Amino acid sequence: MTEAKKVVDAHSHRIWDVIMVGAGPAALSAALYTSREDITTLLFEKGAIGGLAAVTDWIDNYPGFPKGVAGLELADNLRLQAERFGAVIELGDVLSIKRSGDHIELDTTSGLFKARAVLLATGSDWKKIGVPGEKEYFGRGVHYCATCDGAFYRDKRLAVIGGGNSAVQEAIFLTRYASHIDLLVRGDSFRASEVLQHELKKHRDKITIHLNTTTDKIVAVDNKVHHVLSTRKTTGKKIEYPVDGVFVFVGLEPNTQFLKGSDVELDAIKLIKTNDHLETSVKGVFAAGDVRSGATMQIASATGEGATAALEIREYLDNLKR
């Protein structure tokens, strides 16, 4: 049993000052601030500590690392810094939350926990297309963020998969790096806005559009992404698109399933709504990072929101004492 686990077991019936759901960059940044000010802080994480950052091979656009940094290294440093000041991390799943009198109750796989404030920082996952090669080469040729990883593909061929706003926007963004982009659209038309489709036409010298085209497999040679195997739906013809990398943009899946039935208000795609103080529709419950409606889905902004949320939580707790 880890020391953190012993602490959680010994104090599971206490009321924590703040419990954070998630242990990605936003929550770890917030935990650094709160625990450093002697605000008792507990984090619950059901997956990898560090969130998507921890499973990203290399990060080039996080400030302070001129040569870039391995995602796992960054995640581990964020964890160590938060734990240095007393933040406790529990590996477990939060099943539901509800306000009960002057505190908030969290039903978890480790039991029932209580807090004066809660930070929801569970992040969002990019929707997957579920084809062979996608999972195997994630972060090593398969990506979900053009801003994060596009610069690795200067003068390279790319495939962009998707037909909505994000796919078109990111394909246009990637033209500043790639030599050529094959835009693979499963449907017979775009779901993107007319404005974006008009903008896309300005980049036809670099982007070739393939409608009615499924993505069947991402193939690697010598452990490097080599081509995408597709099918033209109208003819059944199999086609290989030679590429150096694949960017998938078929939507987001916010990690908010555990909020079903709660009073925390979500937007149309189930991201958490907050006010200017990062507080949700439930008093004492805050949100930060990629799970928050309006977030920019960048590690640097997630850590910034975490710090902001921590300061707002501190103010909220101070007001409770008055």
SS3 letters across 218-281: EEEECCEEEEEEEEECCCCEEEEEECCEEEECCCEEECCHHHCCCCCCECCCCCECCCCCCECC
pLDDT at 173 over 60: yes
What are the structure tokens assigned to 146, written together? 């053009």
- CA 162 vs CA 59, 141, 257, 291: distances in Å: 24, 17, 24, 22
pLDDT at 1 over 50: no
**pLDDT tens for each residue of 184-214:** 999 999 999 999 999 999 999 999 999 999 9
Residue written as token pair 């909020």: 259
Provide φ and ψ at 89, rounded to 5°. -110, 125
In CATH terms, are 3-125+252-321 and 128-248 the same topology? Answer: yes
The answer to whether residues 201 and 169 touch, using CB atoms and an 8 Å cutoff, is no
**pLDDT tens for each residue of 28-53:** 999 999 999 999 999 999 988 998 88
The ranges assigned to domains in the chain are 3-125+252-321, 128-248
Q: How many CA atoms lie within 13 A of 288 on its CB side?
A: 32
**Average of pLDDT values for 61-86?**
94
The answer to whether residues 113 and 96 touch, using CB atoms and an 8 Å cutoff, is no
Q: Which fold has domain 3-125+252-321?
A: FAD/NAD(P)-binding domain (3.50.50)
The answer to whether residues 252 and 266 touch, using CB atoms and an 8 Å cutoff, is no
- CATH level 2 (architecture), domain 128-248: 3-Layer(bba) Sandwich (3.50)
pTM flag (> 0.85): no
